[in-house]
Structures are given as C-alpha cells and as structure tokens.
Amino acid sequence: LRELLLKRRAEILHALCSGGSVEHLERVIDMLLAQGELGWEDCQNVLVPGRALYSNARQLLDLVYTKGADSCELFFNAVKQVLPEALGDTFFLSGCHSTLDYKEKPQRTSTEELLTQRPDLVLKLQGCIDGALRVLVESGHFSPTDCDGIQLPIYTPSQQARRLLDHVRSKGESASLVVLQYVQQSLESESSLEQTNPKFVKYQKKLRSSVSAQSRFLSTYGGTSHMPLDDIYTEVQMELPNNSADNYKSMGFEEIIGPVGSVNDDADTVLASGEAGSGKSTWLQRLHLLWSQGKALQDFLLLFPFSCRRLNSEQRDLSVQELLFQHCCWPDRGQEEIFQFILDHPHLVLFTFDGLDELKQSFADEHRICCPSQRAPVDVLLFNLIQGSLMKGVRKVVTSRPEAVGPALKKHLHKEIHLKGFSLSGIDCFVRKHHSDPNEAAKVLESLQANTALLGLCHSPVLCWIVSQCHKELLGCGEGSLQTITDVYLMILQHFFQHHSTVKSAMGVNWLQENLGTVLHLGQLAFEGISNSSYIFSVTDMETCGVTESDICMGFLIQSKDMSLANSKCCEFLHITLQCFLAALFAILSRNTGCSAISKLFELQEMKKKRLRGTCFGACLNSTNIPNIVKEHSTMAETPNLQITATFVSGLLSQRYQKLWIQCSSSVLVEKKTKQAEKCLSKGMQQHFRSIPQPVQGEKKSMHAMPEFVWLIKCIYEMQNSRLAKDAMSKLEAEHLKLTYCNIGPVECTALAYVLQHLKNPVGIQLDNNSVGDVGVEQLLPCMHICNSLYLRNNNITDEGIHKLIDKVIHLQNFQKIALFNNRLTDACTKHFSYLLKTRQNFLSLRLGNNNITAEGAKQLAEGLKFNRSLQYLGLWGNKIGNEGAEALANALENSESIVWLSLVGNGVGSAGACAMSNIIRNSTSLEELWLTENCITRTGVESLTQALKHNHHVKSVWLKNNDLTSAEIEEMQQTDSRLVF
Ligand code: ADP
C-alpha cells in the first residue's frame, strides 16, 4: 500500500487539490482524526495556514507514508469516501474496505465522542452554526469574540464547523456535551416536523424526487445517449468580483449562497453570469442534483427550479402559489398549508431561475407587487421575486448571460459570480470523464495540446463537449486544421449526419448536399427562433418550417420538458449556440434570404443607437415564402444571439468553405453575401475607430474598445480574412488599445492577435481584468512584435505563460513594458524576467505586484538587474520578498542610473531591508520615488533612509505609511525630511 501511495502520488494530489478548494483535504483529515490515525499536532503540521494547498496535501501524503501500511489503507479509504469517483475503481486494492471503519473504542467522554464523530458533526453543524454558537454562548462556554472568530466570512460553512469543534475541544468536557446535545436536538426537531406536518414532508419528498429526476442526466446527451450528470460534471472556474483572492477557484454552493463577497446584504438574489456555453445551466443543474441528493444546501427544505425559457410560454396571469405549484411540483394534499409554511419560513426556501436572458421581457422593476396571492404576468412575478418585494427572505439563484444584466437588476443582487468555463485541468478532467477508454482520452488531449487555438476554445464547456463528442472526426482531420469556432460546429454537424447516415461507410464529399433538406428545415426553424427570441418550438412551428420526423431524429433537437405545454410535443435545440449555427447556415444557404438579412445581422449597434423599433431581421425574410412569427420589438437581451449568429455567418462565408456551398445554393448569391459581410465588418471597424476621441495634450491617443469591437475582431478571425484585417488595421491610429473588462479569454486572444498583427505602428495593449490565462498569452504571441507595452493585470496567468511570453519577446525590440499585477506568478517566473533584463537593454518597466514572489524570486530578479542599464520602473507590491529580497535588489540597483520608481509596498520588509534601500538612495543617480508603505520598518530603518537622503537631491518621495513606528516617532521623523511620507 505504501508503494501504491507513491505510485499514485500525483494522481491523488490532483484529485485532492485540483478544484482549488481545501475541502477535500480537510474532510480526509477529519476522518483520519476521527480514527485516531492523526493527532492534533500532525494536523497542524499538515494544514499550515498560508501554505499552498498542494504543499499541505503533499505533507499529508508524506506523513501517512511514514506512518506505514495501516495508515495508508485508512487514508485510501478516506479518499474513497470523500472522492468516490476521482481515482477510478482500479485504484483500490481488492482487500481494501470501501466504507470507513471507525476503530472500535469504548466512548467515555463527550470530548472523545466529538472527535470520533467529527466527519459527521462537520456535516450536520454546517446548516446550524448560528444555533450551535448561540447555545454555547448561552451556556457560558463561548464569548461573542469566540463566535466572531469562527464565523469570519473567509471560512466556508464546513470550515466554520471545524473551527467550532476545535474551539469546543479547548473549552473542555461540558462544552463538548452542549454541542452533542444541540446536534441531537436539531435532528429530533427535524423528525418531529415529519410528525407534526406530514403533508409538508410528503410534498418535500415529491419535490425532491422530481428535482432529482429532472437533474440526473445531462441534456446534450439526450439525443444520442444518457449521460448521468454525476459522471460527467467537471468543476468550472468562477470569479467573484471584488474578491480577487479567491478568483478562478471553484466554490461550493454553500459558499456561493453564503455571505462571502456580498455586495448587498439586504438582497436575496445571487446571480451567476457567463457567456453562452460557459456552463451556467449545467452548474445550476448540479446545484439541483446535489440538493435533491441531500449533498448540498440542506438548510433549504424546499427548492423550486424554474427555466425562463419555459416560463416564456406561460400566457396566463399567475399568483406565486400557482407559479410554484403548477410550474414545479403539485402538492397532492394540503396546498394551503404548504404554501403557508413557505410564507412563514422564507429562509428555508430556495428558488432558481435559469437563463434570465432568454425571458422575452428585459428586467424592469417598475411594476411592484407584494401580495403573494395577487395574480400577475409571469415576468412581473419573476422580477418582483428577484428584487424581493415578493417573498422577501427566500433565496434566489439566477443565471444569465452578462448582456442581460443591467444596472436595474444589479442593485437587487446579493452578489454576482462570473462563470469562466473550464480551467486547463478542467479540460483534462472533462475529456477523461467523457471517454471511458483512457487511450482515446489521451489521444484527444494530445491533439488539443498540439493545437492551442483549439485548446483555447475548449475552455468553453460546450465546445469542449463538441470536441470530445467528435473525437473521431477530430483525430481524422489532421493536426491544426481546426482553428475557428465555425470549424468546430461544422464538425459536429457532420458528426450528427454521420451518426444517422444509413450508409454505414464514410460520408461522401457532398455530405452537406446529401443532408441539405434537413439543414434548411432546421435552419429556418432556428433562424426564425433567433429573430423572435423563440427557443421552444411547437409541432406547428416545426411543420411550418417543413421539419420532419427524420430531421428531428438527427439529434440537433431535443424534446422540451415544458410543463405548461405538457400535452403537445415541443422541441428545443441542444444548445442555444447550435441554434445560432443552424440559423447562420440558413442565412447563407437559403435562396430566400438576401444580402439585407446579412447586413441586418451586422448592423446591430447602429440599430440600437437609432433606437429603431420594429422587427429586427425577420422583416428581411421573403415573407411570401417564410411565414413570420410576428415580433413586436427586439430586446437588448437577444443581441448576443444575433451576434453569435453573425459570427458563424462570417465563419461560414470564409473562402475556405466556398466550395462546400457550390452544390447547395446559388454561388452568385453566396458570393454576394460574402461581399456584403466583408463590407459590414469593415464598416463596423471604421465606425469604431471614428469614435476614438482626440487625445488630451501630452497623452497618447488611446482607444477604449467596446465589447462590440471584440466581436467584430472575432468575426474577421472566423472569416480567416487577413486582407480585411490588414485593411482595418491600416486605418487605426491609436497608440494605446484599452481592452479592459471585455471578457477576453483565449479565444478572443487568438482573434486579437490575428487582426492586431497587421498594425502599422507599435501600440500599448491593455488587457487588464480579463481571463487571458496561459493559453491566451500563447495566443497573443503573433502580435507581440507590434506591442510596446503589455498590461495583463488580473488575468489568471502562471509562470508557464510567462515562460512562453518571454521566449518570444526577448527578441522583440519594441517590447518595453509589462504589467502583471494580481496573477498567479511565483518565484519560478523570475528567472525568465532576469533573462529578459540581462538581454534587453531598452526594457523600461516591470510590474509584478500581488503575486507570490519571495526572497528567492527577488534574488533571481536581482541577478538580471545587475546587468541591466535601462529599467525605470520596478513594482513588487504585495509579494513576500522580505529583508533578504530587499537586500538583494538593493545590491543590484545600488548604482543604477536608470531606475526611477521602485515599489516594495507590503512585502514584509523590515529595517534591515530599509537600510539596504538607503544604499540605492545614496548611490543611484536616477531614483525619484521609493515606496515602502505597509512593511515592518522600525526607527532604525527610517533613520538610515534619512541619513541617505541628506546626500540625495533626485529622490522626490519615500513612502513609509503603515510601518512599525509609533506616532511620536513619526512626528519626530517627519521633521527631518519632508520627502518622507508617513
Ligand atoms: P450555458 O447555460 O452557459 O449556455 P450549458 O450549461 O448549457 O451552458 O453548457 C453547455 C454544454 O456544455 C452542456 O450541455 C454540457 O455538455 C457541457 N457542460 C457545461 N458545463 C459543464 C460541466 N460543469 N461539466 C461537464 N459538462 C459541462
């Protein structure tokens, strides 16, 4: 077993830590503690606060290994309990017990019981921390300060439970007894609910099993096979704005609904936003499933799931009661009682609304209602529920695309989290889960590694699913041939046709022509749906577009589970992006759609500006041939679907695909549509450039790109039209491109580089606050030769990304500045910067604030600095370089004639470091500003700086706020030199 532990070490570590959350590790430790296998001291040695999760996990593995085979066995069993699927069945030896065997021990004291029942207690206490703390305070065991320490919002509910248990242990036997009795009582009161209110409990069971039935399988597999969500679910990355420390790790549902990152404590609605295909519905489905299985959110006795897509078809006015019971779960008995229970216990109830962007009406909070029995149109009910005038206290979780979230909605949000798709390890994990054959998975992953543009696309779960689903086509089509999103969707189109092809041999080159009927029927349905914000189609809708049974069987459409249309057979597309893709195919291939339909797709922004009302592009269809589902006006929320459709149109009209259309449509018409799309894109870009304001005197001409700019760039990339890119870029005169907060991920980086590489003059590229990541950095490399400054603050970049970047820019003389504040860099990146500094004698600015650089990293940087004659700005704010690091830097910069600005704010620098800094002040001829705020410098350090300043007239200020100085010292020292800022 010890050997097995060694052999599988990497795998176990990955399983325990890959989600980024310490929960799995802590649960394993709970079990080992409970079994007496670990002691408290062991525990402290393993869970060292502030140390990386992986290091803690490694420590545990080492410990278990040292303790011997018995320990290893208990460890394996604990891992299996915590992560039943993570390591596969083969992992465990047949002799291993699969359930946890607590060591038999007569239990004498409550304190001992607290320990042996720890895993269980952690679970039970999570939902009732408040109550447990209350009884501990009432019984005099805890002070309010004890409670505050336990309930710090940085802790997840399970961590709070553990802290509570640890604290109780230190308070002795009677405190332990209080906790055990409290937990026992709450369990009893739960079962007494069953006795006093049997109808409620029956309803709860019915609701639970209906939620479970709806959420157990993933719908994208509906057409082909059933995939249990439990088997395929892969954690997605999340970003909690205003809480950069936790960004990109995945959070548990308790944490998401809890107080961490709250922007409005009065509000009850948590919003999860993300692009189409980023995994919002699946994430919500997971929430439903875990609740129904009793694995999460057990504080909520009832959970009501709604789909906004389905609510669209509710024409009647409803009361809240009718909404809950008719759209979610019907109580067989005691409706009034059950509803009264909901009204009386709002905090025990959770509502979820999936896809707010798909609701026909945009969010508005004008029409207020507050009486739960009042009937109103469903959208009005929904908006009142979200903003809390109805059913205050009931928690709501809403998902939406970002475009549909305006300020009116934002002010009613408890918090907003952004779903960011899969991480690199998430992609890996998903592909392995998707393929039961490990060799197949390995091949898919290998081909993704070989094609980073495609790997970038796979951060989006829907694309990752397609790529995995089409692995045969993927492996058959040759490396690097899949580049664009359109390529991937054409692949799935072909895949579905292949799957249903009656001729079992490979499909002919005319595969599209052979299936043209289906494409046109489904395309028309999709196209009309997009233009009318319809995502669910009745039998009549399908008949009108000529959709036949065999078209439906192809797998693009799945049966809709619309409750209010229970009797009719309604369908929806597997995913909204697939609907957009088929709509785009229709726009190109249908002889009844002309060029005007194409230009309408690209003219959105202008349309919005002019506030044109009326049908958007439905009017462009030839109305004699295509019956129009009448639409009153277009809402902002549908813009994204039109934009996705336009992106696909651009891709499909690429020269690379012209041959495919020859047999399927009029080539003259397709040619015309191509010209039209090119014209629209080029006009769109010019319009954007015209809006660049004249620079303020002394500043660079700067363009702040709007999200539409990124969309236009993506269209040009999809088209793979470098002439268009060149033309557009020749007209851009800005010296600085600002693309902050534009939702730029690896895919957008690929497109940006494709277009920006044609710029005439070097520019600064500012991409702060996006999700570029390492893959995105790699995608940007082709345009680095025209980049003089690269700003990538807060972008989830690691040392790996930096390595690739520096390998490229080391040879590019234009590249002079880089800002990487708040990424995931460690000492491992500093050797690359050091190399850059040594090699490039015109490099000006290096900012590495808020990363994880220690003294070792600073020493590496110093090595490079010794040989550099050009660097003017060096920012290391918020790292951990300490005195040793500061001394190394000072040593390297002592005689610098270039450094102007140096920041070591918040680096644990003490007086020794400050004394070293004095040497730079003394000898450097260039330094103007030195930032030493938030360190631990004492009087000795400041005196040394003061002495040095006496001989220096270049330095303008030395910042020393928040150091270890008394106010008397500050007052005194302020007198000595006015350049010292305290
Ligand atoms: P959105 O609601 O953001 O448009 P979906 O949740 O519908 O995205 O995701 C699209 C598809 O991507 C899903 O049907 C599924 O195949 C895949 N997918 C999304 N999220 C996950 C996940 N967390 N784990 C596994 N597959 C996922």
Ligand 1, atom 7, lies closest to the CA of: 281
> How many angstroms separate the alpha carbon of residue 302 from the centre of ligand 1?
25
Give the pLDDT mean for 693-702: 72
Tokens of 122: 């952690």
Side chain identity at 794, as an amino acid letter? N
Supply the Cα-derived Rg of the chain in whole angstroms. 31
The Cα–Cα gap between 842 and 920 comes to 21
Alpha carbon separation from 936 to 196, 717, 962, 979 (Å, rounded): 61, 51, 8, 19
Give the pLDDT mean for 13-17: 83
CB-based contacts of 269: which residues, under 8 Å, 6+ apart? Answer: 386, 387, 388, 395, 396, 397, 398, 412, 413, 414
> How many angstroms separate the alpha carbon of residue 472 from the centre of ligand 1?
21
User: For position 336, what pLDDT does the model report?
Assistant: 87
Per-residue pLDDT tens over the stretch 46-105: 888 878 888 899 999 999 999 888 898 899 888 888 877 666 654 454 444 444 444 445
> How many angstroms separate the alpha carbon of residue 255 from the centre of ligand 1?
21
Give the pLDDT mean for 761-774: 93
Ligand 1, atom 11, lies closest to the CA of: 462
User: For position 981, what pLDDT does the model report?
Assistant: 94
> How many angstroms separate the alpha carbon of residue 961 from the centre of ligand 1?
48
C-alpha 812: how far from chain center: 33
Give the pLDDT mean for 223-233: 78
> How many angstroms separate the alpha carbon of residue 222 from the centre of ligand 1?
13
Side chain identity at 499, as an amino acid letter? H
Homologous superfamily of domain range 203-422: P-loop containing nucleotide triphosphate hydrolases (3.40.50.300)
C-alpha 759: how far from chain center: 31
The DSSP bridge pattern shows strands 980-981 and 957-959 to be parallel
Ligand 1, atom 20, lies closest to the CA of: 279
Q: What is the mean pLDDT of the chain?
A: 85
> How many angstroms separate the alpha carbon of residue 551 from the centre of ligand 1?
24
> How many angstroms separate the alpha carbon of residue 231 from the centre of ligand 1?
13
Local structure of 310: helix, strand or coil: helix
Per-residue pLDDT tens over the stretch 417-449: 999 899 999 999 999 999 888 888 998 898 888
Alpha carbon separation from 294 to 118, 209, 211, 300, 345 (Å, rounded): 19, 11, 12, 10, 19
Side chain identity at 665, as an amino acid letter? S
Give the angle 700-703-706 at the CA atoms, nearest 5°: 160
Quick one: fold of 825-981? 3.80.10
User: Residue 619 pLDDT > 90, yes or no?
Assistant: no
- To test the pocket of ligand 1, the residue of 219, 462, 464, 576 to mutate (highest count of ligand atoms within 8 Å of its CB) is 462
> How many angstroms separate the alpha carbon of residue 230 from the centre of ligand 1?
13
User: Residue 638 pLDDT > 70, yes or no?
Assistant: no
User: For position 546, what pLDDT does the model report?
Assistant: 92
Give 573's DSSP letter: E
- To test the pocket of ligand 1, the residue of 217, 282, 572 to mutate (highest count of ligand atoms within 8 Å of its CB) is 282
Tell me the pLDDT band of 836, cut-offs 50, 70 and 90: very high
Ligand 1, atom 5, lies closest to the CA of: 279
Tell me the pLDDT band of 612, cut-offs 50, 70 and 90: very low
Give the pLDDT mean for 244-252: 65
Give the pLDDT mean for 23-43: 89
Domain ranges of the chain: 1-89+110-191, 203-422, 825-981
The Cα–Cα gap between 759 and 785 comes to 10
Tell me the pLDDT band of 970, cut-offs 50, 70 and 90: very high
Ligand 1 atom at shortest distance from the alpha carbon of 221: 16
Ligand 1 atom at shortest distance from the alpha carbon of 577: 4
**Whole-model pTM over 0.85:** no
Residues with CB under 6 A from ligand 1: 218, 220, 232-234, 236, 274, 276-282, 430, 461-462, 465, 575-576
User: For position 723, what pLDDT does the model report?
Assistant: 95
Ligand 1 atom at shortest distance from the alpha carbon of 218: 14
> How many angstroms separate the alpha carbon of residue 218 from the centre of ligand 1?
8
Q: Give the residue from 882, 912, 902 showing the smallest Cα distance to 958.
A: 902
Give DSSP secondary structure letters for 485-527: HHHHHHHHHHHHHHHH-SS-SPPPTTHHHHTHHHHHHHHHHHH
Per-residue pLDDT tens over the stretch 469-490: 888 777 776 655 788 999 989 9
Ligand 1 atom at shortest distance from the alpha carbon of 275: 3
User: Residue 630 pLDDT > 70, yes or no?
Assistant: no
> How many angstroms separate the alpha carbon of residue 856 from the centre of ligand 1?
42
Per-residue pLDDT tens over the stretch 856-884: 999 999 999 999 999 999 999 999 999 99
Ligand 1 atom at shortest distance from the alpha carbon of 355: 2
Q: Give the residue from 373, 180, 957 showing the smallest Cα distance to 188.
A: 180
The DSSP bridge pattern shows strands 980-981 and 702-704 to be unpaired
Q: Show the DSSP H helices in 347-434 as ranges.
A: 378-387, 407-410, 424-434
Share of the chain above pLDDT 70, in %: 89
The Cα–Cα gap between 432 and 55 comes to 25
Ligand 1, atom 13, lies closest to the CA of: 462
User: For position 851, what pLDDT does the model report?
Assistant: 95
User: For position 558, what pLDDT does the model report?
Assistant: 83
User: Residue 106 pLDDT > 90, yes or no?
Assistant: no
Query: Quick check: 150 and 139 in contact, CB under 8 A?
Result: no
Q: At what angle do helices 173-196 and 118-126 cross, to 10 degrees?
A: 60
> How many angstroms separate the alpha carbon of residue 498 from the centre of ligand 1?
23
Per-residue pLDDT tens over the stretch 204-226: 888 888 888 888 888 766 555 67
Backbone CA torsion sign across 168, 169, 170, 176: positive
User: Residue 138 pLDDT > 70, yes or no?
Assistant: yes
The Cα–Cα gap between 8 and 510 comes to 49
User: Residue 616 pLDDT > 60, yes or no?
Assistant: no
Give DSSP secondary structure letters for 731-767: T---SEEE-TTS---HHHHHHHHHHHTT-SS-EEEE-
Q: Give the residue from 209, 250, 208, 213 showing the smallest Cα distance to 228.
A: 213
Per-residue pLDDT tens over the stretch 389-401: 898 889 999 999 9
Give the pLDDT mean for 370-396: 90
The Cα–Cα gap between 909 and 51 comes to 19
The more confident residue out of 301 and 101 is 301
Give 593's DSSP letter: B
Ligand 1, atom 14, lies closest to the CA of: 220
Per-residue pLDDT tens over the stretch 303-329: 999 999 888 888 889 999 999 988 888
Ligand 1 atom at shortest distance from the alpha carbon of 234: 24
Q: Which of 312-321, 639-648, 714-723 has the highest mean pLDDT?
A: 714-723
User: Residue 503 pLDDT > 80, yes or no?
Assistant: no
The Cα–Cα gap between 5 and 9 comes to 6
